[in-house]
Amino acid sequence: MKDLFAVVMLSGIYSLLTASFFVAMDAVDVAFTEASVGAGIFTLLMLTTITMTGRYERAARHKPTLALAVVLATGGLLIYGTLDMPYFGDPQAAAHLHVAPRYIHDSMQEIGVPNIVTSVLASYRAFDTLGEVVVIFTAGIGVLALLSVARRPEDDAEINSVNDSMHEQHLILRIVTKILIPFILLFALYVQFHGDFGPGGGFQAGMIFTAAIILYAMLFGLSTARRVISQPLIRLLTAIGVLIFGGVGVVSLLNGGNFLDYNVLSDDPVAGQHLGILLI
């Protein structure tokens, strides 16, 4: 495939299909994330890149036979591995019989959150989630470290003039976006605070927020977006986000429990759990 535009579109479709697979497997949270990241933001960013670099790939210098062979071998092994798997949805499968029953039966009494996935993510395996938050933080810092080039004023001026001329042409798009953005932000907030009870949570909400911001930056120019969201503020916010999560853990440590043990946060264990998850 030499046409990068088609490649991007195909990968977007791929993500959307994967997301529907996840829905079919009842993993709504993951599907939510996949749809917003894979099909949404990824495609958006790639399209922006293509507008800057050009649409067609240069002819490859080497033949991809070896790579293809490796991929085929890997795929073969994966299929070979599926031969002895338990059937899909089999209630006797090991995954449903060992740790899962406690999550399903007892999480309501122990944690008091109706969404079992949330209680697993935010309490039973909260440390993994903290780890994931740090992964995202790391990625953010990495990007900052590599891309934050000192800007020169003349560059800014040039970008502005290009932007202005481009944005004049997309009047309809701009107006539609202006109408849409408040709804997107509202939806993000809904996902964020409903995370306790339904699918969703901070990660997905963050994605939707980002989509809104990128959309805004694409249509109104980077400098306008920068005026709305200042960079130092973002840095501070990311650090504080991670620290809040970790801080919850440290507080429970000081109160005499183990790290991330919310039961000690409050006299009533269930209330403590609730508080902990909400803070996260």
Q: Does 171 bind other proteins (CB under 8 A)?
A: no
Among candidate residues 69, 55, 209, 241, the one with its CA nearest the CA of residue 138:
241
For residue 206, state whether it binds other proteins (rule: CB under 8 A).
no
Applying CB under 8 A, the span of 21-29, 34-42, 159-167, 239-247 interacting with other proteins comes to 239-247
Question: Other C-beta atoms within 10 Å of 150: how many?
Answer: 4
User: Does residue number 259 form part of the binding site for other proteins (CB under 8 A)?
Assistant: yes
Residues 113-152 that bind other proteins (CB under 8 A): 123-128, 131-132, 134-135, 137-139, 141-146, 148, 150
Kindly list the distances between the CA atom of residue 121 and the CA atoms of 77, 117, 133, 246, 252, in Å, as whole numbers in the listed order: 31, 6, 12, 15, 18
State how far the Cα of 262 lies from the Cα of 268, in Å rounded to an integer: 10
Q: Cα separation of 163 and 48, whole Å? A: 13
**Applying CB under 8 A, does 17 fall inside the site for other proteins?**
no
Report if residue 243 touches other proteins, rule: CB under 8 A: yes
Please report whether residue 86 would count as binding other proteins according to CB under 8 A.
yes
103 is a site residue for other proteins (CB under 8 A): yes
Among 41, 116, 185, 242, binds other proteins (CB under 8 A): 242
Name which position in 177, 235, 251, 275 contacts other proteins (CB under 8 A): 235
Instruction: Closer to other proteins by CB, 174 or 235: give it.
Output: 235
- Sign of the C-alpha dihedral, residues 78, 84, 89, 95? negative
Question: What does the alpha-carbon distance between residue 230 and residue 213 come to, in Å, rounded to a whole number?
Answer: 12
Determine phi and psi for 83, rounding to 5 degrees: -60, -35
**Contact positions toward other proteins, by CB under 8 A?**
77-78, 80-86, 93-100, 102-103, 123-128, 131-132, 134-135, 137-139, 141-146, 148, 150, 235-236, 238-240, 242-243, 246-247, 249-250, 253, 257-263
